[in-house]
Amino acid sequence: MFIDSHCHLDRLDLSPYEGNLDLAIEAARAAGVDRMLCIGIDLANGPEVVSLAERYEDVYASVGVHPLDCKEVVPDIDVVRSLANHKKVVAIGETGLDYYYATTEGAQAVQRQSFINHLELAAELALPVVVHTRDAREDTLDFLREYGSRESAGVLHCFTESLEMAKAALDLNYYISISGIVTFRNASALRAVVDYLPMDRLLIETDSPYLAPVPHRGKSNEPRFVADVARFIAELKGVTPEELGEKTSDNFYRLFRRAV
């Protein structure tokens, strides 16, 4: 019924499951989670997320380098390209720009070149892009316009930016993914964005093991909690959780066309 469109299965806290990822996956399935997209964040964990997608029928993978993992050197995009050839890799990323932590011009320049490389690769392979953006609204949108593909497009994940940025992304054919942050008490601006978002451009995610939603605040996040995100958003949108799950699942398959 639900799809967790962004999680980090290789980073989950498995202590509640005696260290067994199989049990965490089973718990997600029991909560109504049909599919999970495990996100690559650097060149080192790319093979691992692909391996997890091979291991579990209901898990897909993305491959890429998170902007905060670029460090001081632009990552080798050919490594990403080679991993992207796998049939269960459905997206390029997580990539993007994060100027909140990368405050020097040098660090930001490395992020910008990496982002361009990922966008160009995604366009070449006709795969969507999983975009992380923080405190870099203008550059993110400019790069999506100049180097991104409207056809394969992508998703702005764990969205916390302005309504204006959401509208601009929608105009570029991108989807918006909402995490458990929407359930936080101080997230009224994000809830206004969710209220505006058309149902056919909405995805849901956990970004686990980070950002556990209410009522799990303070715990390590995990894919089964995407059901709580879905229920909260369904109430905001005035639909049932089942309707929300069906619509966001349809959106997932429309965007991530390799997913079957």
Count of domains forming the chain: 1
Q: What is the pLDDT of residues 137-167, one digit of tens each?
A: 999 999 999 999 999 999 999 999 999 999 9
Return the bridge partners of 91, or none.
62
For the cut 90, the answer to whether the pLDDT of residue 260 exceeds it is no
88 occurs within a structural domain? yes
198 occurs within a structural domain? yes
100 occurs within a structural domain? yes
118 occurs within a structural domain? yes
What residue type is 13 in one-letter code? D
232 occurs within a structural domain? yes
Whole-model pTM: value is 0.97
231 occurs within a structural domain? yes
To the nearest 10°, report the CA torsion of 141, 206, 185, 14.
-140
Q: Residue 46 belongs to a domain with what CATH number?
A: 3.20.20.140
260 occurs within a structural domain? no
48 occurs within a structural domain? yes
To the nearest 10°, report the CA torsion of 119, 124, 129, 135.
10
Interatomic CA distance for residues 123 and 152, integer angstroms:
7
Return the bridge partners of 155, or none.
130, 175
Q: Among residues 131, 138, 182, which one has the least CA distance to residue 157?
A: 131
Range of the domain at 193: 2-255
Q: What is the pLDDT of residues 32-84, one digit of tens each?
A: 999 999 999 999 999 999 999 999 999 999 999 999 999 889 999 999 999 99
